[in-house]
Amino acid sequence: MPATVIIGGQWGDEGKGKITDALAAQADMVVRPNGSTNAGHTVVTDQGVFKFHLVPSGVLHPACDCVIGAGVAVDPAQLLDEITALQARGVDLSRLYLSDRANVILPYHPALDRAEEQRRGTQSIGTTLRGNGPAYSDKVGRRGIRIADLLDESALVERLRLVLPEKNLLLASLYGEETFDAAALAERYAALGERLAPLVVQAEVLVQDALAAGKRVIVESAQATMLDVDYGTYPYVTSSMPTAAGACQGAGIGPTQVDTVIAVYKAYTTRVGGGPFPTELHDAIGQLLRDRGQEYGTTTGRPRRTGWFDAVAGRYAARLNGVTEVAVTKLDVLDALEEVRICVGYRLDGTPIDAPPSVAAVYERVEPVYEVLPGWREDTSQATSVDELPLNARRYLDRIAELLCVPVTMVGVGPQRRQLLHRTAGAAV
């Protein structure tokens, strides 16, 4: 049974948690392949609002195994806090598994994240300060500590003795920050490892066994294509690979084992942190989108930057990921507008270009070319099918599908589970 990959088509916060939760109702396993506690996936049910940072969004379905894959960077204390908070709300976590290969976020990672951001000054990336970048740097620099290392305290202390001198030198000399002691850290993290031990597995083997047994596996990527470390707006990106290919790698799945790639897009665009954003609105409409869409970061609470739907960046993401279906979320946020705009082209120094420039400073100079569509000025939040949506809203979705060259198969009209409308691929919107 081939797997389904869910990715973000913009700069994050598209509603991947909501789509994962919906599809997990019919799945056997949800795998989180990348990112760290920088991510915040929100699912709203009759039991209230759930905000997941590391735990896959399938966990509310008791028949679904949930796997934190090798590509995730895990802060053990934050994972344990998330588990405890979910258990306190009656969520069954007996089917949660954690890859022994996942890298660990240690306290020097957030310390370095903060210090590096400060040093960047006006060029700061606007990271979530969770230690994500420094942890992934250590991973690829082969200085990382992995979950498996936490299960053996004597090996852990040796490993920390190897990596800590460099960290401490940086922290003390360059940043004037506190340093860390290998033995004390090893003791603390071995204790956390002991608490996590019951969850620890060779996740890629579990995932492959599930696929071989014909189980339905969903891969729930964090962040989004335009934040990808290779293809996003570098250096204003995250440090993992939130593409479909990156999701395969982080989950331990080969490209031929996937038949569906669902890209989630908001009906408009948001971005948190610095970096190019051609369709950004600094006016009353931008504020309206922020207010109606409650556009404040799930992890950091920061106000999100808001703007019109960008079909140039969107199509770039759809192509890069081999997207087969699109979910458009938060359509209802646009209900109040007289007219809606879609960016259908970019101009760079007056010349049309059809893909996001590779260099952030050049991308900053890009001017969006808009198509103006009539708004619908009707409440879409009560619609129970795509057919019930106002004609202009359907036309808007049609145009998005046309520009992305991918069918829109799901439409979100509010945060509740019932506010996700489905349609089969191939049918007109």
The binding site for ligand IMP (CB under 6 A) comprises 12-13, 38-40, 125-128, 130, 132-133, 222-223, 227, 236, 238-239, 272-273
Residue 171 or 227: the one with the smaller Cβ distance to ligand IMP is: 227
Position with the least CB separation from ligand IMP: 273
Minimum distance of ligand IMP from residue 42's CB (angstroms)? 11
Q: Where are the beta strands (DSSP E) in 89-239?
A: 96-99, 103-104, 200-201, 217-220
Which residues, including other chains, have CB under 8 Å from residue 124's CB and lie 6 or more apart? 117, 118, 274
Which residues does residue 341 pair with via DSSP β-bridges, in sequence order? 372
Minimum distance of ligand IMP from residue 352's CB (angstroms)? 28
Q: Note whether 330 and 42 are within 8 A (CB).
A: no
Residue in 332, 358, 363, 360 with CA at minimum distance from that of residue 346: 363
Catalytic residue among 13, 65, 75, 100: 13
Strand 420-422 and strand 408-412: the pairing is antiparallel
Minimum distance of ligand IMP from residue 105's CB (angstroms)? 11
Is position 422 annotated as part of the catalytic site? no
How far from chain centre, in Å, is Cα 22? 16
Residue 65 or 113: the one with the smaller Cβ distance to ligand IMP is: 113
Residue in 344, 342, 356 with CA at minimum distance from that of residue 397: 342
Which residues, including other chains, have CB under 8 Å from residue 142's CB and lie 6 or more apart? none
Strand 258-266's sheet: what is its strand order? 200-201, 96-99, 65-68, 29-32, 217-220, 3-8, 258-266, 325-329, 408-412, 420-422
Residue 182 or 224: the one with the smaller Cβ distance to ligand IMP is: 224
Residue 244 or 429: the one with the smaller Cβ distance to ligand IMP is: 244
Residue 128 or 279: the one with the smaller Cβ distance to ligand IMP is: 128
Which residues does residue 32 pair with via DSSP β-bridges, in sequence order? 68
Please report where in the chains the tokens 């850290």 appear, as a residue.
185
Minimum distance of ligand IMP from residue 296's CB (angstroms)? 11
Catalytic residue among 41, 53, 61, 109: 41
Minimum distance of ligand IMP from residue 19's CB (angstroms)? 15
Is position 13 annotated as part of the catalytic site? yes
Q: Catalytic positions, please?
A: 13, 41
